[in-house]
Structure 1
Amino acid sequence: MKSAFVLPAFAALALATAPALANDSEAEIGIGGITLKPSDAIVMESEDLFVSEQIVRVKYRFSNPTSRTIETTVAFPMPPQPRAFVDRWYDMESKQDWSEFGFNTKVDGQPVRLKMIERAMVDGRDVTERIAQLGWPLYWVDEDETSDLFEDMDEASRARFVEEGLAKEDEMFGGRTVPAWDSVTFFVREQSFPAGSTVVVEHEYAPMNGGSVGGTLHKSVRGTDPDIMRDYKQRYCTDEHFLAGFDRRLEQMDQPGIFAIYTETWLSYVLSSGANWKGPIGDFRLVVDKGSTEYLVSFCMDGVRKIAPTQFEVRKTNFEPNRDLDILIVKFHEMEE
């Protein structure tokens, strides 16, 4: 069963919605809106990322090898709504309010303030002004967790908006014609990169994790919905070795008078925007902490090395991320029958 409610980050409970937080990326803000764009000058020398259920810490080292000081806008995009949450939670009628999502940012050890901007985005294209011109809402999900914005529209008008890229038939919403845009919140700051210098940026925050209670991974259920298992394999790399370990753990807990259950915790982090800087990430380090030796963890990365009883490390040089990071943590619980 998926969680159907949202909790603030400080609530310290696992079964909340699962935003995929993001790498810093250079942004361009103009009359047409906000656009994440590749940097033609700034190099990300290193990224040191720590992810756990309780906290996320990331430290970047940027360098400006040019002979001029570069002033730019740096954006930290939050997950697009509603599409980022379609298969993560049930109640999408209410938009996630990121204004109370607190995280600390430091530049060269000094705290900095971030500005929050909300935009309507279609595949990286900012359509906020057009949406406002038409009088349409930024966040369009109704009480039925879809939208009837185009339902009563004549076919010619609907086709015109499909051609404009503002509407589309979306399988996520049962093949209905729904708005093509998502509401995206950007935390932005103005950043100066002095000529020939290095700038260190640090973020720290308590993540809001997604999760479910039992079902999908259980041996008796796995064969009934192959689509879900394919999604797990693609998203979390849950291979046969992981599933065998999962089965063993449940079998070990199978005792008279004991009912064994498990819960899933989902963590996500957007790595792909880190490829927007000039060249690859010179030195990349990831540490995933599963929280307890009794838990199982799975995520898609090669070269994973266990460095502590609950911690797993990945190191890469000249890293060009081509996918985002999704982490599955499985916890086991005993209940008396």
Structure 2
Amino acid sequence: MIRTALLSALALSASLPAYANDTTAELKAGGLVFTRSDSVTMEEESLFLSPTEVRVDYVFRNASDKAVDTIVAFPMPAIEGGPEMNVDAGNVEDDNFMGFSVVQDGTPISPEIQQRVYSADIDMTGVLADAGVPMNPMAERTHAAILKLPKETITDWLTRGLIIDSSYDDGTGMKLDYSPMWTLKTVYWWKTTFPAGKTVKVTHRYTPSVGGTVATTFLDGDGKPEGERYEEYKTKYCIDDAFVKLAQNSHDAMMNNKPFLIENWMSYVLTTGANWFGPIGKFTLTVDKGSPKNYISFCGTGVKKIGPTTFQMTATDFYPERDIDLLILKPTDAP
């Protein structure tokens, strides 16, 4: 794995994101999961990653002499509840919160959706359903439904660990409040047939979850490339000396009330590609950092710049051994 840091010119035009606190996490989503892998190969995967869209185009081939009927699934990232959760989880008021869509051989598919709720690894889906409470713990409608529950249900849910008391004083006295603490797991799935000796083309799209901070955070308190977080970034994003220098200059600029840089992160679970039979015949990764004024770093082999904002790597007979994590540094105006 070659360490790759891909940089472009800095400009000072973006503004700070309106996060509830200093850091927002991202949710990892990724590729299709196949429930059977002894006949169908992934001949091609073309993956496009940007802060606003993920696009994946697959070509599968059934190498056997019999049709394969199976289920293909797309697991969405789990969403955890909690009073201090600060995660970009898309449109949490919608079951399809990341806007997932799929097309097979040119025909749109309406996949089934399975959603389950867990507390302490115990399935509590039926408990929520019986109470008429929505499953997404981050949705406003879920919070509103909890506040309308009868007292005996509240007591029961506190005991089960489904909610916690998060009452607060707004200056006029205590306000009763409860926060959902369960985890929502969502999977899209559909039945399909891979004809004997034939190829099948599948495309899926969704809006990624992008996390970030209001500054650069991978140096220590003295602005040196040391410490646990720096080691994590070096491994996860393959940052190099040039990226360290960017962060140091950004920190100095921020201290002097000048334009500085903020971090954005996004991830893609690539290792699900190993669920198919054999390696990925032809793999293409295209990454778009958004603006020519942004900087980006990620781990890759033989990455080439192919446009003002785009970078690409290709591989043949590719075994995905790690997921893809992107670190983007974005310019911001001084406060």
**Is the TM-score greater than 0.5?**
yes
Partners in 2 of 1:54 and 1:189 — Cα distance?
A: 25
Match of 1:32 in 2: none
Q: Secondary structure at the match of 1:208?
A: coil
Match of 2:207 in 1: 206
Q: Secondary structure at the match of 2:73?
A: strand
Match of 1:239 in 2: 240
Structure 1 residue 326, shift from structure 2 partner: 0.9
> Cα distance 1:192–1:331, how it changes in 2: closer, same or farther (>3 A)?
same
Match of 1:9 in 2: none
> Cα distance 1:199–1:330, how it changes in 2: closer, same or farther (>3 A)?
same
Identity %: 33
Partners in 1 of 2:136 and 2:53 — Cα distance?
A: 29
What amino acid does structure 2 have at the position aligned with 1:75?
A
Match of 2:86 in 1: 89
Structure 1 residue 71, shift from structure 2 partner: 1.1
Q: Secondary structure at the match of 1:292?
A: coil
User: Structure 1 residue 105 and structure 2 residue 102: aligned?
Assistant: yes
Partners in 2 of 1:221 and 1:51 — Cα distance?
A: 34
Partners in 2 of 1:297 and 1:325 — Cα distance?
A: 13
Q: Secondary structure at the match of 1:230?
A: helix
> Cα distance 1:327–1:96, how it changes in 2: closer, same or farther (>3 A)?
farther
Partners in 1 of 2:196 and 2:292 — Cα distance?
A: 47
> Cα distance 1:204–1:319, how it changes in 2: closer, same or farther (>3 A)?
same
Question: Does the 8 A contact of 2:98 with 2:208 survive in 1?
Answer: no
Partners in 2 of 1:132 and 1:24 — Cα distance?
A: 27
Match of 1:40 in 2: 38
- Choose the corresponding residue for 2:58, options 43, 47, 60: 60
Match of 1:22 in 2: 30
Match of 2:186 in 1: 185
Partners in 1 of 2:284 and 2:229 — Cα distance?
A: 30
Q: Secondary structure at the match of 2:63?
A: coil
What amino acid does structure 2 have at the position aligned with 1:44?
M
What amino acid does structure 2 have at the position aligned with 1:105?
V
Q: Secondary structure at the match of 1:75?
A: strand
Structure 1 residue 60, shift from structure 2 partner: 0.4
**RMSD (CA atoms):** 4.1
> Cα distance 1:240–1:67, how it changes in 2: closer, same or farther (>3 A)?
same
Partners in 1 of 2:188 and 2:125 — Cα distance?
A: 21
Match of 1:174 in 2: none
Residue correspondence of structure 1 range 142-157 to structure 2 within 5 A: none
Q: What do the CA deviations read for 1:291-330 (whole angstroms, capped 9, x no partner)?
A: 2222110112222111112111111111111211111110
Partners in 1 of 2:258 and 2:188 — Cα distance?
A: 45
Structure 1 residue 239, shift from structure 2 partner: 2.4
Unaligned runs of 5+ in 1: 7-14, 27-36, 152-178
> Cα distance 1:194–1:38, how it changes in 2: closer, same or farther (>3 A)?
closer
